[in-house]
A and B are shown apart, each in its own frame.
Chain A
Amino acid sequence: MKSRRASLGWGSAETPDGIGLLLLLPSIVLLVALFLLPVGYAFYLGLTNIQLIGIHAQHYWFTGWANIDRLLGDETFWVSLQLTAVFLIGSALIGVTVVGMALALLMQHASAWLRSLAGAVAIVAWMLPPVSAALIWYAFSTTGGTLSQLFGGRADILDNHPMLIVCLANVWATAGFSMMVLSAGLRGISAEVLEAARMENASRLQVFIFVTLPLMKQTILTNLLLVTLIILANYALTYIMTAGGPNDATNILPIYAYQQGFQFSNLGYGALLGDVLVVISTVFAYLYVRALRPARARRAAPAVTA
């Protein structure tokens, strides 16, 4: 065994693996050059007074804590942060996770043709580019649109409940992804375990809560993290629908960062707001790793393939 592994070059705990690093090199080059470097530069710009156009467009300099001081005292920023929290809870946490789980569960028990149709529809909604999805939802929720017709034709759901519509639109556009992740997780639960629970005369709901959910913990958390990151990163959908409005009612942080950088020309401050988003993503990633740690320690054998 050992010699075969050695001949495969899997390396050992002591020696670093030259071939491994070589294989990883193209990815590292791409990530560093086109990802880390620009992000690092953006972090630097966040601490300067650079403007999009204006006296500091070409002649700008490092301003130390100035932008951070501004951030801490910026009411609009704190409101935006709140809106972002509401938005993420509404769309990622509640919306996508619940709808995705509902889809995955229902699809498991439904007839084959309906399963294919539902899957295809959810996937199409996910695959539609944000520009098209934004148009669809704008038409859907504005006066005269489909949703509006249900409430008497003249109701303007979009302008009167903008955050709700924006959350719904993001749920609609991301649930397909969630459905796929959670379906795979559900499939990984062995039938024997479920049978054993049913044998104990547990009701369907009890089986779900006490058997399925705990076994799905890893999948659910993974899905939640991914969906949160995806929704946070894809603000084009929200931007095209409302541009943060009406009157800053949906001014979530990515949109506020864009507004500061490109509308008010405060490119430096806008970059700092974008940096806050990176920090938020890091926090989520860290929490995810912490939440999974006990599970990792307990895992002994390699996982069953789905």
Chain B
Amino acid sequence: MTEQPPRLLPNALLAIVTLAFLAPMLWLALASLDANASWALRWPVFTLAHFADVTRGDYLWSLWNTFVLAAVATVTSVVPGVVGAYALSRRRIPLRDGLMVTVLFLTGIPVGIMIIPVFQIFAEFGWLSLIPTGIFLGANSLPFALWLMKTAIDGVPREMEEAAAIERASLLQTILHVVIPVSIPGIASAAIFSFINAWGSFIVPLVLVSDPSQATGPLTIYGLIAAANVRYGDIAAFSIIYSLPVVALYLILSRAFSGGFLMGGAVKG
């Protein structure tokens, strides 16, 4: 390319779009600092009391619970998913194409439809707690994770695996040292997707987690809305704190992969 096209128009338009995205978040920022917070957008009577309120023990505990839940879900979907995706990509699986489409449409099944049977089963086994719920959420993200990682592995040149075979590498070594490193962007996308899904999950922990000491962030926020005495400032403050870890995750990873990693291989599916 010999000339750079003028950037003014794209910049202006993008700036407008960005502002449109930021506009709703404005309330969150202002209300969290407002001593008299309400639904209305207003200049705050500045106070840090809300942030103080929501960094108390039990709130931080619910953040930790959410993290445990999301971590378990991510591991549950990525670990079986990686080897499963490798199999789907490289191995002879009967009805593979049909399987892929089934896996894809499983992505769209509303979780609500499964919640009663799963509750009954988990209740029978005494699994109404955080970790089994995390496994369930991981299983929910597994279809999309498989799909993402399979297309990422599809993009790994077979020559690399053949080279490893020449070096007498075992299958496990090939997967660990050749396939995974090259398809890391796809794997990372799958991990992030599973993590975010579990982090934001509301109805599933509401039904499956019995013990209030294991309540997750969304449940805590919901409790603040449902309480007889609604405290908007606290809700806004806690929403911000609760969203921070995920935003941090994105920023770190996008720096690591120069922003172009997500969905990289997926679209060639």
The answer to the question of B235 belonging to the interface, with a C-beta cut-off of 8 Å to chain A, is yes
Contacts of B116 in A (CB 8 A): 42, 45, 261, 267, 271
The answer to the question of B56 belonging to the interface, with a C-beta cut-off of 8 Å to chain A, is no
Give the dominant DSSP class at B's interface.
helix
Q: Are A277 and B161 in contact (CB under 8 A)?
A: no
Binary flags per residue of A260-295, CB closer than 8 Å to B gives 1, else 0: 010000010001001101100110111011000000
Contacts of B201 in A (CB 8 A): 129
Contacts of A282 in B (CB 8 A): 105
The answer to the question of A12 belonging to the interface, with a C-beta cut-off of 8 Å to chain B, is yes
Please report which residues of chain A, range 149-204, place their CB below 8 angstroms from some CB of chain B when the two chains form the complex.
149, 172, 175, 180-181, 183-185, 187-188, 191, 195
Contacts of A226 in B (CB 8 A): 107, 144
Q: Are B14 and A107 in contact (CB under 8 A)?
A: yes
B204 to chain A, nearest CB (A): 10
Q: How large is the interface on A (under 10, 10 to 19, 20 to 34, 35 or more residues)?
A: 35 or more
Which residues of chain A have a CB within 8 Å of any CB of chain B? 1, 4-5, 7-13, 15-17, 19-21, 23-24, 26-28, 30-31, 33-35, 37-39, 41-42, 45, 99, 102-103, 105-107, 109-111, 114-132, 135-140, 142-147, 149, 172, 175, 180-181, 183-185, 187-188, 191, 195, 218-219, 222-223, 225-226, 228-230, 232-233, 235-236, 240, 254, 257-258, 261, 267, 271, 274-275, 277-278, 281-282, 284-286, 288-289, 302-303, 305-306
Which residues of chain B have a CB within 8 Å of any CB of chain A? 1, 5, 7, 10-11, 13-15, 17-18, 21-28, 31, 38-42, 76, 79-81, 83-84, 86-88, 90-94, 101, 103-114, 116-118, 121, 135-136, 138-140, 142-144, 146, 154-155, 161-162, 165-166, 171, 174, 196, 199-203, 217-218, 221-222, 225, 235-236, 239, 242-243, 246-247, 250-251, 254, 259-260, 262-269
Known: A8-B165, A35-B142, A181-B267. 6 other contacts (CB 8 A): A30-B76, A129-B201, A144-B42, A228-B108, A305-B268, A306-B267
